[in-house]
Amino acid sequence: MAGQQRENFSLNTIIGPGTWVRGDIESGGFTRVDGSIQGNISAQGRVIIGEKARVKGHVSGTSVTIGGVVFGNILASERLIVLASALVMGDIITRRIQADEGCLIHGKVMVCQTDEQWDRALAEYQDVQGIRSALAGIAT
């Protein structure tokens, strides 16, 4: 094994067309959604939400591409691509964004250019989510 490079195997998660999932998904690598999910998606790698996909929940990953509908916030630690076919109803926090003509984004978009801005925005987002979660617990 000396002298040989170790291959980096990425875990892959695919939710195919016609598949409906209720619950959160946590992935250690690449995640692609072409079906419907009611729950949060948290990936340690790239996330692709296909053109026919529907997500009602928050999406986070390193590089996120949205082609379908997302009703929730998006965190992309490296970059976010919003395709012309996309509808995003939620806030976005990322380091770089590409939004194609024709896409629809309804929410606050924060593009962080430094690590300090990213850390501050992420901490603020997590605080707000914690408060919302606590208030939801009181309401039930």
**Which are the contacts of 41, defined by CB distance < 8 A and separation ≥ 6?**
24, 25, 27, 31, 33, 47, 55, 57, 58, 59, 60, 61
Residue 5 pLDDT > 80, yes or no?
A: no
Of 133 and 50, which is predicted with more confidence? 50
Q: Tens digit of pLDDT for each residue in 102-129?
A: 999 999 999 999 999 999 998 888 888 7
d(CA 76, CA 97): 9
Encoded tokens for 21: 């999932």
pTM equals 0.85
Lowest mean pLDDT among 81-90, 97-106, 110-119: 110-119
Range of the domain at 26: 12-113
Q: What pLDDT band is residue 1 in, cutting at 50, 70 and 90?
A: very low
CA 24 to chain centre: 12
pLDDT number for residue 33: 96
Is residue 45 included in any domain, yes or no? yes
* 126 assigned to some structural domain: no
Please determine, for residue 79, whether its predicted confidence score (pLDDT) is greater than 80: yes
Chain centroid to Cα 120, Å, comes to: 18
64 inside domain: yes
pLDDT of residue 11: 61
Share of the chain above pLDDT 90, in %: 74
Is residue 50 in a domain? yes
123: in domain: no
Q: In this predicted model, what pLDDT tens digit does every residue of 8-39 receive, in sequence order? A: 446 688 999 999 999 999 998 899 999 999 99
